[in-house]
Amino acid sequence: MTNKNYSVLMSVYQKETPEYFITSIESMINQTLPPNEIVIVKDGELTEELDEVINRYQTSYPNLFTVVPLQHNVGLGKALNYGLENCKNELVARMDTDDISVRDRCELQINKFVKNDNLSIVGSFIDEFYDDPENILSSRVVPITHQDILKFSRRRNPFNHPTVMYKKSAVLRCGGYGDYRRNQDFDLFVRMLNSGFIAENVDKALVLFRANQNNSERRKSWVKCKSNIKLMHTFWKKGYSSLIDLLIVSVSQLVVYISPLWFFNWLSNTFLRKTPNNQES
C-alpha cells in the first residue's frame, strides 16, 4: 500500500460538549500526517453551538469536511455506517468527539498499513484523563499481535474503539456496525476477526480518552452488564467463544454489577488498567 490518504470518521449528537468537540477536531487537523477528509455524521438535531462549530470548520476548510445530516438520532453504530458509506478513502480513522489524538497517531497507523498490506485493523492503547490531558490517570492496554488479539477477543474487546483505523472495504464486507446501542464495535471486530481479517495494535497510547465518574457508573450498570452477557452469549452460539469463556465473562459481569463502586474502581485499576504507579518502567 503506497496511498497514504485517509478519512476521519466522527459522529456527533446533541449532548456533546462544543469545547471538547473543537479540541477533538483540532487534534485530527494537526496530525503530522493530516487527513484529506473528515466525515462528520450529525446524529439527529444538534444544538446551535454544535452546529456553529461544524459550520465554522466547513467555512475554514471547504474541501476537507463532509457533513452527513441524519433527521433522527439513530445511535452510534448506525450513524457510523452512514458516515462510512460517505468516506472516499479506503483507510478510515475513527475518532470520538470528546477525545484527543496525539499528533503522530495517524502517521504511525498508516505506517503499519504501508508495511503490511494484509492488515485490516490497527488500534492502540489509550491514556485516560479527567479534566487535564497532561494528568494521565490510567491506561487501557490491549494486545499487540494478531494472535494475541484473537485470544483476547474470546472474552474482551481487543481494541479501544476511538483509536482504530480500518479498511472501509473490510468493514463493509462484514456488514458494518450491528444494530446495537452498546458494544457495536466489539461485535464488528469479532465478526471481522472471525472472517479472517488481520489486525494489530500499536504498543503505545495514541488517543487521550476523556473519562469521568460517570464512565465507571455506566460500566457497572445493569444495562451494560446485561449487554455484555448477551453479546458473549451470541459469540458462544456462533462458536467463536467457548462455554468457559461465556461463564467466566457472565460471572465477572455479575460481580462488577453487584460490587460497590469503590471496589469496582479498585478492581479496574488493579487488573484491567495500568495506572501511573503500576506501569512498567
Average pLDDT across the chain, whole number: 89
For the chain, what percent of residues have pLDDT higher than 70?
A: 88
> pLDDT grade, residue 226 (50/70/90)?
confident
> pLDDT grade, residue 264 (50/70/90)?
low
pLDDT at residue 182, as a whole number: 76
* Whether pLDDT at 137 is above 70: yes
* Whether pLDDT at 280 is above 60: no
pTM for the model stands at: 0.86
Cβ–Cβ < 8 Å for 7, 74: no
Could you read off the pLDDT of 75-134 as tens digits, one per residue?
999 999 999 999 999 999 999 999 999 999 999 999 999 999 999 999 999 999 988 888
Could you read off the pLDDT of 156-191 as tens digits, one per residue?
999 999 999 999 999 999 999 987 777 889 999 999
* Phi-psi map region of 86: left, alpha, beta (phi>0 left; psi -120 to 50 alpha): alpha
pLDDT at residue 216, as a whole number: 57
pLDDT at residue 178, as a whole number: 87
